[in-house]
Amino acid sequence: MDVFVRLMEGILFAGIAVAFFLLAWVFLKLARIFSTTEQSIKDVMEQVVPLIGKTHTTVDNINSQLSQLDDAVGDVSGITDELDQTATVITRGVRGGVINLSSATAGLSRGLGAFFGAQRSKEGDKK
């Protein structure tokens, strides 16, 4: 029985040793995975941080260009309003001039018609 107990103790120690080595092997694999993951994260951070900085600069440039475009559109809007007002003034002036010219022409036409009509009627009376 002493041999049997020693044999069982040996098998138990061997099982514990195998379990310990398997557990150590799993921890080594897990350490490699964590190390690889850590290196991957560092690589990504090294590439992403400069990219974010460039993106920030690009967005700032776009905002600056949009601000300049907004100023230009505002200037064009102001010029358009001034052109509209100028066109309105010119239209009123031309319309008033045309109305005055047509009134003067109509008055002159009536005056000449009345003058020459009166002369014709006088000439008609003489005959």
**pTM, two decimal places:** 0.41
The answer to whether residue 14 scores a pLDDT higher than 90 is: yes
H/E/C letters for each residue in 50-69?
Answer: HHHHHHHHHHHHHHHHHHHH
pLDDT band of residue 125 (cuts 50, 70, 90) is low
| Per-residue pLDDT at 13 | 93
Q: Look up residue 1 and give its DSSP letter.
A: -
How far is 39 from 91, CA to CA, in rounded Å? 76
Q: What is the four-CA torsion angle of 69, 72, 76, 82, rounded to 10 degrees? A: 150
Q: How far is the C-alpha of 89 from the C-alpha of 95, rounded, in Å?
A: 10
The domains of the chain are located at 1-90
Q: What is the pLDDT of residue 11?
A: 92
DSSP state of 127: -
pLDDT, tens digit (0-9, with 9 covering 90-100), for 76-121:
888 888 888 888 888 888 888 888 888 888 888 888 888 777 666 5
Calculate what percentage of the chain has a pLDDT beyond 70: 91
